[in-house]
Amino acid sequence: MQIINDHNLYLVISSEYLPGLKPPLDVAKLAIQGGIDILQMREKNIPRDEILLLGKGYLELCRENKVLFIVNDDPYLASQIDADGLHIGQEDFSAYTVKKLRSIMGGKIIGISTHSLEQFKKANDQDFDYISFGPIFPTKTKDYFIGFEEVENVLKIASKPVVFIGGINIDNINILLGKGAKNIALIRDIIQAEEITQRTKLFKQRIMNFCGKKMIIKINGENEGVEVKANLSELIMNKNLNPAGIVIEHNGSIIPKEKWADVFLNDNDNIEIVSFVSGG
């Protein structure tokens, strides 16, 4: 059974919000390169056979990159695709009991949207794996917003991870993080960005900064937070990796071992490390 941990960047992709003719799978790939941890497919206006095909494409992409894949609204579709989880809204909660959702989804992840402290309290006592809360700030998708005054109250009583959503952007995310938020969901401010990967990295970096980690690198395909004040040799030593079995790609170039001590980390670097167990 998979679980939702903290410090996640959660991206919701919906074709209706994509500018121009941007293929959704291309957008997802760019965001994954930037460091998202969870991807939700939210499609309400395209035929089911197209959603099924798109969902299978997302699933393959997410599995390759160790990103959790969530399907919105439809537990039967989520089960058919073999997604990692399901996200439901308040209207879905009235149509399905939690017991029914569990019978369809089994041990997969189930999350729910809440839009008030009262709704949050109710969901908090149910068998959900995470709860989203919002919209926190004004957003084009809703005609109301909650504001950030309830953030601390929600976090005080939360018995499971909370994902904050709604109108969050690079100018206001620190308000939420400063109040203790650990999981942030976005739509437009990533998928409508000119440079999706760089925009995503910026959001992920903000989240990791607030949990005491300074930058994100990939080690054997998984995101990890590391301190910036190090060179590549110190990084390998701090991670207890065997230097004999390491390949390091730094900003698109393979760095030879004799140069590791000369390359110091910067928070905008793109670093991927592959550690071979055999040491070869």
Which tens digit of pLDDT belongs to each residue from 39-76?
999 998 889 999 999 999 999 999 999 999 999 999 99
Q: What is the mean pLDDT of residues 251-261?
A: 90
| Catalytic-labelled residue, pool 108, 113, 132, 199 | 113
What CATH number is associated with residue 31? 3.20.20.70
- Is 1 domain-assigned? no
Active site residue 199: no
Please answer whether residues 17 and 9 qualify as being in contact, where contact means their C-beta atoms are separated by less than 8 angstroms. no
| Catalytic-labelled residue, pool 22, 42, 56, 102 | 42
Q: Are residues 195 and 264 in the same domain?
A: no
Nearest Cα residue to 114 out of 136, 85, 139: 136
Question: pLDDT value at position 277?
Answer: 63
Is this prediction's pTM over 0.85?
Answer: no
Q: Are residues 118 and 87 in the same domain?
A: yes
- Nearest 5°: CA angle at 114, between 58 and 170? 65
Active site residue 140: no
- Is 4 domain-assigned? no
Please answer whether residues 35 and 65 qualify as being in contact, where contact means their C-beta atoms are separated by less than 8 angstroms. no
Please answer whether residues 200 and 29 qualify as being in contact, where contact means their C-beta atoms are separated by less than 8 angstroms. no
Q: Are residues 75 and 34 in the same domain?
A: yes
